[in-house]
Amino acid sequence: MEVLLDSSFIVSCIKHNIDFIAELEGMGFKVLLPKEVFEEIKDLRLNSDRNTKVACEVALEMLKKRKVREISLGKKPVDLGLIEMGKRGAYIATLDTVIKRQIPNKVVIAEHSNNLLVERS
């Protein structure tokens, strides 16, 4: 099973000290990072509060260090690319409500436990 990461998910996991890569791999997922999401995180660190900037820096370093496989979503907006991949059967790790409503398979952060949760519809 493949899971594509969204920037909202990555940054939130870092802020909550969740080793999302290890957890996802432990669940049997092959973790994929859209290049567009990587760029989104780079841009996010420029226009954010201090905590988000630090989380973005840590995320970028972790993703490089762990050598997460990068893919391309094409020339469409990031969210549309993730939705398209989700409709094709890929799991999407996101906190974005718009994306979550449109895809059947998602990975989210459980609100009160800081654990990852797989949702299928």
Judged against a pLDDT cut of 90, whether residue 8 lies above it is answered with yes
Judged against a pLDDT cut of 90, whether residue 121 lies above it is answered with no
Residue by residue, DSSP assigns the chain as -EEEE-HHHHHHHHHTT--HHHHHHHTT-EEEEEHHHHHHHHHHHHTS-HHHHHHHHHHHHHHHHTTPEEE---SS-HHHHHHHHHHTT-EEE---HHHHHH-SEEEEE-TTT--EEEEE-
Query: What pLDDT does residue 111 have?
Result: 78
pTM value?
Answer: 0.92
Q: Does domain 2-120 have CATH number 3.30.70.270?
A: no
In the chain, what are the domain boundaries?
2-120
Judged against a pLDDT cut of 90, whether residue 75 lies above it is answered with no
Over residues 54-82, mean pLDDT: 93
Over residues 86-110, mean pLDDT: 95
Judged against a pLDDT cut of 90, whether residue 115 lies above it is answered with no
